Amino acid sequence: MKRKVYLTFPRDLIREPLIYHVGHQFDVVTNIRCANITEDLGLVGLEFEGEASEIEAAMDFLKEKGVKVEPVVMDVVE
């Protein structure tokens, strides 16, 4: 299955390689579809591919780290 989300990284997490960790800790493929990073905020359009349970676990991991995870409602990153 595929799932597209927007990730919002707060200032203190911008330099953390969290997407890299997700790809290694969970059985998912990550595909960055768009990104805008400044000194104060990181916005990433990310596509997950894998089993639903692995995608959910990966998103939970990001949320626990402090990343805001929101579903892509309209497919504007396609």
On whether residue 29 sits in a domain, the answer given is yes
Query: Is 48's pLDDT higher than 90?
Result: yes
Claim: this prediction has a pTM higher than 0.75: yes
**What is the arithmetic mean of pLDDT over 13-34?**
97
Q: What pLDDT, on a 0 to 100 scale, did the predictor assign at position 75?
A: 56
**What is the arithmetic mean of pLDDT over 41-68?**
98
Share of the chain above pLDDT 70, in %: 94
- In order, the DSSP letters of 13-71 are GTTS-HHHHHHHHSSEEEEEEEEEE-SSEEEEEEEEEE-HHHHHHHHHHHHHHT-EEEE
On whether residue 76 sits in a domain, the answer given is no
Q: What pLDDT, on a 0 to 100 scale, did the predictor assign at position 44?
A: 98
For residue 10, the enclosing domain spans 2-71
Q: Do the Cβ atoms of 49 and 1 come closer than 8 Å?
A: yes
Provide the pLDDT confidence category of residue 78 given band limits of 50, 70 and 90.
low
Beta bridge partners of residue 37, listed in sequence order:
42
Residue in the structure block whose two tokens are 């990104």: 35
On whether residue 37 sits in a domain, the answer given is yes
Amino acid at 5: V
